[in-house]
Structure 1
């Protein structure tokens, strides 16, 4: 016969946890002895370890209570489902761990090598450190949210930078960051970007449109928030491109 304190130590839980399990009907309370103390047996310790193991595996307490009353066949079937769920969670945690290690190694390590190489070449094309940092953060977000489609968007942008005329527009967009939003150069740049966009894509859907995702709008929101001139530039471009 053992005390509740010793039972807690055997099972690796707190006395408070044992009392919670009593209250929820998971662990039967033993009778009190002549001194008024509850005395537990090895059977209580075994049951408590089972409950703790299921709880640590993520099984809700209400479900554990049901499993205690289940048949042996149903109990083992439930354990197989718990094991499968736990395996999926472990796989997800390992992927999170890999992303964390890539983050610790540097932001570019979170991206495919070809994207990292592209970003490292941007300063050589004349892009500002601000633009490179912003592009890096946006690609990290896009690849984290939509890894399957992000590479297509990346290839589209990388291809556009091989065209000297389009690259100049990107550079002008970068340098417009510090302009007054009502500077005539903002209006002129918006018109030229619209003309180049229509020339490249025609009347079809533009990249990033109609994906059913809020990520493209979120990304553009990050860009717009960093500069009043960029915010007005985006508004002018959208007003012209999506005018009905």
Structure 2
């Protein structure tokens, strides 16, 4: 129902702002950008706002509250006397944007709930990776294992991390393999202590890793790991053929390229060790 008794009344900018729930500064900004026409001024030189101005201010306030940009509101008003057609199109875009924001919030909540359920480190990994750990006794995995998986998933995606997941399953269930892995890892880390590139230890550690990987692969085959298509895909992602084979898939990553993506530098001796290992793949 219209309120004709309000029509002839005109108010000052402060009263208009208070009515619309905004500030006088906001109204001045609307004038400056052409969103709200400048009203006539009274005998005292001050702006006076009438009923139609109030309606326009309420429109602006309501649309801004739902996330419509002021430029879009101005364009909608310019589309017609009431701007209904332009506003409808803008509202459709805003609704799509809000739906996407809601989806993002749902994904974030699911991630938070998962982290609380799985534990902070386990919960950071994708379901595809952590689902492979379900049958392991609690505490079988080391904290460093989960940290390593987080890095691998960042570089190679869930499939690459899933291959490494099965690696850690083997280490968790085969103490002798874990002990050998720890020994070689310690030898590798020692290469960062000023070891020369041509030091015999470089080739020895590379050879130890090559032999260990063959042992690990045999254990994985015996345990029935890597047999599903996803794991074969993960193996290819982590161990792509070399460029000389002519079989390397676009976007795959060599061992040296993976090392290069790490956020720190390796010593020349350690990089040489990786080069020697890479030559066997």
Aligned match of 2:89: 77
Aligned match of 1:126: none
CA distance in 2, matches of 1:55, 1:242: 62
CA distance in 2, matches of 1:7, 1:208: 69
Secondary structure of residue in 1 paired with 2:141: helix
Q: Please say if 1:51 is aligned against 2:67.
A: no
Q: Contact 2:206–2:276 (CA<8 Å) still a contact in 1?
A: no
Extract unaligned runs of 5+ from structure 2: 1-9, 218-231, 241-248
Residues 235 and 186 of structure 1, relative CA distance in 2, 3 Å threshold: closer
CA distance in 1, matches of 2:259, 2:53: 54
Aligned match of 2:164: 157
CA distance in 1, matches of 2:48, 2:239: 67
Q: Please say if 1:114 is aligned against 2:131.
A: yes
Q: Contact 1:153–1:208 (CA<8 Å) still a contact in 2?
A: no
TM-fit CA distance, 1:25: 0.6
CA distance in 2, matches of 1:189, 1:7: 79
Alignment of 1:78-157 (within 5 A): 78-100=90-112, 106-111=120-125, 112=127, 113-114=130-131, 120-123=139-142, 131-132=144-145, 134-135=147-148, 137-138=150-151, 142=154, 149-150=157-158, 152-157=159-164
Q: Contact 1:67–1:75 (CA<8 Å) still a contact in 2?
A: yes
Aligned residues: 225
Structure with more helix by fraction? 1
TM-fit CA distance, 1:59: 3.2
RMSD of aligned residue pairs (Cα, Å):
4.2
Question: Which moves more between the two structures, 181-190 or 22-31?
Answer: 181-190
Q: Deviations over 1:146-165 (max 9, x none)?
A: 8xx51x22331122342758
Pairing partner for 2:190 from 179, 182, 188: 179
Secondary structure of residue in 2 paired with 1:90: helix
TM-fit CA distance, 1:31: 1.1
Provide TM-score, normalisation by structure 2. Answer: 0.60
Provide TM-score, normalisation by structure 1. Answer: 0.67
Q: Contact 1:5–1:15 (CA<8 Å) still a contact in 2?
A: yes
Larger Rg: 2
Aligned match of 1:207: 238
Pairing partner for 2:45 from 25, 36, 47: 36
Residues 197 and 205 of structure 1, relative CA distance in 2, 3 Å threshold: farther
CA distance in 2, matches of 1:213, 1:65: 49
Q: Contact 1:176–1:186 (CA<8 Å) still a contact in 2?
A: no
